[in-house]
Amino acid sequence: MNNTSPQSTASTVFIHSLIFLFPFLLLITRFGVGLCSFAFLLAAIVYRRQGWPVLMRHLTEIRGVLIAFGALLLMAMVGAAVSSDGRLRDLEKPLRMLAAGTVMLTVLACRPSRKALWWGLIGGAAVGAAFIAYQRWGIGLDRPGGLINSITFGDIMLCMGLMCLAGTLDFAGRSALWPGLGALAGLAGSVATGTRGGWLAIAFSALLLGRYGHVLRGRWRKVLALLALALLVSTYFIPQTGARERIDEGFSDVHQYFNGGPTYTSVGIRFELWRSALKLIGRHPLLGARPAAVKAEMEELVNTHQVHPYVLQFEHFHNDILQALVFGGVLGLIIWGATLAAPFMFFLHQVERGGGGRNAPALAGMLLVLSYFSFGLTEVIFWSVRSCMFYAMMLFLLAGLCLNAKEETR
């Protein structure tokens, strides 16, 4: 895992610092993602001669991922061009997500140690947990969300914690305690936000870890896994966490919605938005509709008393699949789905056929993709630029680390 590229000491310090700062600054600053993405772009330009030949050697492996993000951008460009209400800002997220490929190019050129990423995730989970704990129990916010909203903060915290579990594979013996603590911090930070939907990611990730992770190999990893499980279960019985209240509230919301009670609840609102989305999808199943048309049709549904008026208060449908279908139809769903499926298959291939040094970053990549899919079942996790950039930049960073490990075995 040592840096074997012929870079100067200053360059080595720079790239390792940049990789560390990306997850470390993500949740505690407003500028972290933008600063790091710009720095990676500049680094990719500077080191293009070293990175490009390596990328070309592995282009067949990574081509599907690049095509998926390229198709996402192309769809946004076509939509903006043919629509009278097309907005250039609609291109920002897909453009920046494709440009995140420069992170991979930089990693391929500089061949940094994977430990820089793991320590960044450990540190990011720790400071994020401390930040959200201060907001929750220090100043008394009921649903703290750091510098963003509570759902996105809690989801990203959980995702970082799960990736720390994958990182234990790169730590020998008792040193695995450090990424284990990062995993616990990520889970604790997620619990502190009061987010419930993200817990689906824990169930899916447990199945994945059981099948591919080998994370429980060794005494310390078993202890850490048991501690994580104990922490998760204990939150239901500790009133200060609010977990029991939120879970009981969820069951109550479902009962009220289907039995004629008040529907303006956290779960009820989602059900009503999903019902509205299904009505709109039936009108434009293949290519979806533009935002202005969606807004007008939502108002029509309200005026004809088919859905509750409060659905007009929300910017999205709280489900990534339905969001893709409403605005992009079946074609949009396929393209959005490819940005999850193509990376997952890439990382799966690395684990099943690569092994060795590729296991940790590849497992982290699968956990990243699976987490985002899980989050999107009850939330539009790709709504904010910060969340989109974390996904794309982390994905390409982990892909670069996997390809570097393959280079080392040549």
pLDDT digits (tens, 9 = 90+) for 51-107: 999 999 999 999 999 999 999 999 999 988 887 665 667 899 999 999 999 999 999
| pLDDT reading at 400 higher than 70 | yes
* Contact criterion met (CB below 8 Å) for 182 and 161: yes
3-state secondary structure 247-297: HHHHHHHHHHHHCCCCCCCHHHHHHHHHHHHHHHHHHCCCCCCCHHHHHHH
Give pLDDT tens digits for 224-259.
Answer: 666 666 666 666 566 655 566 666 676 777 778 787
* Contact criterion met (CB below 8 Å) for 371 and 205: yes
Structure tokens at 237: 């019985």
| pLDDT reading at 3 higher than 50 | no
At residue 160 the predicted structure's pLDDT band, cuts being 50, 70 and 90, is very high
In degrees and rounded to multiples of 5, residue 317 shows phi and psi of: -100, 10
What is the average pLDDT value for the chain, to the nearest integer? 88
| pLDDT reading at 314 higher than 80 | yes
Give pLDDT tens digits for 345-396.
Answer: 999 999 888 666 788 999 999 999 999 999 999 999 999 999 999 999 999 9
Give pLDDT tens digits for 187-199.
Answer: 889 988 878 767 7
At residue 7 the predicted structure's pLDDT band, cuts being 50, 70 and 90, is low
Rounded to 5°, the CA angle 390-236-147 comes to: 30
Helices (H), 27-114: 32-46, 48-57, 59-82, 92-99, 101-110
